[in-house]
Chains A and B, each alone.
Chain A
């Protein structure tokens, strides 16, 4: 079985891990004009509970 010849330096490890970044979630304003809160796309608004002009869920 192939194995690493050298121990990976702390620097290399940390340089690699430095690229692990969290991205902000893409949010859009709610289509409901009375609400306009930011929400993830293609999802019923968690604030007003509407999607596509239709009440889908109870607002939280």
Chain B
């Protein structure tokens, strides 16, 4: 069971706190990076991460669950279409808080809270290697389904899985890497910086 939040609610009442956190999360997903007080940043992080987890699942039920918190449909669409798929290979820790200098005026400790825009080191290594470790391979059923798509490469998948170094597999290596690349690239399509793949949707969001 999660520990209940200690101390008074932000803004005075539970409903006020819910609204403030929802607005902060909305701004965070809209802009990707917001500056706020440290206390608010610490409170909004669990909420934002739970919303991203829901967005990663990406079905209608989870979309409705997100709509309960985030009332802006444009932001919900961005969350489901871009932010969720981008974090496909990251298990939690989607949001980073960095402390900054205290605010002028009331000396409140401030922080910058942002969506992590980098891929994980393992994801980048896999993208560079264009293969996966055996333990990270998808379930055999999925692997076979992929293999059937590339009917010739089905044997090559198994052989490279067992003996990756064998020079005889050099020809067979190419189709494997091609399939892996095909699976890896849609995940990168969600990258906020590399949005070239779906400019039409982006324009819809901004308008």
Interface residues of A (CB under 8 A from B): 40, 42-44, 46, 51-52, 54, 56-57
Which of B96-104, B173-181, B194-202 forms contacts with chain A? B96-104
User: Is A56 a contact of B98 with CB atoms below 8 Å?
Assistant: yes
User: Is A46 a contact of B101 with CB atoms below 8 Å?
Assistant: yes
User: Is A56 a contact of B101 with CB atoms below 8 Å?
Assistant: no
Q: Which residues on the B side are within 8 Å of A51 (C-beta)?
A: 98
Q: Which residues on the B side are within 8 Å of A43 (C-beta)?
A: 99-101
Q: Which residues on the B side are within 8 Å of A44 (C-beta)?
A: 98-101, 112
**Distance (whole angstroms) from the CB of A30 to the closest CB of chain B:** 13
Q: How many residues of B contact A (CB 8 A)?
A: 6
- Report the bound CA distance from A34 to B100 in whole Å: 19
Q: Which residues on the B side are within 8 Å of A42 (C-beta)?
A: 99
The 3 closest A-B pairs by CB, nearest first: A56-B98, A44-B100, A46-B101
From A52, A54, A56, contact of B100 by CB (8 A)? A56
- Report the bound CA distance from A56 to B110 in whole Å: 12
User: Is A57 a contact of B100 with CB atoms below 8 Å?
Assistant: yes
Q: Which of B76-124 contact A (CB under 8 A)?
A: 98-101, 112
| Chain B residue with the shortest CB-CB distance to A42 | B99
Q: Which residues on the B side are within 8 Å of A57 (C-beta)?
A: 35, 100, 112
For the A-B complex with A40-B101, A44-B99 known, give 8 more contacts whose Cβ atoms are closer than 8 Å. Answer: A43-B99, A44-B112, A46-B100, A46-B101, A52-B98, A56-B112, A57-B100, A57-B112
Q: Which residues on the A side are within 8 Å of B100 (C-beta)?
A: 43-44, 46, 56-57
- Report the bound CA distance from A56 to B112 in whole Å: 7
- Report the bound CA distance from A22 to B72 in whole Å: 48
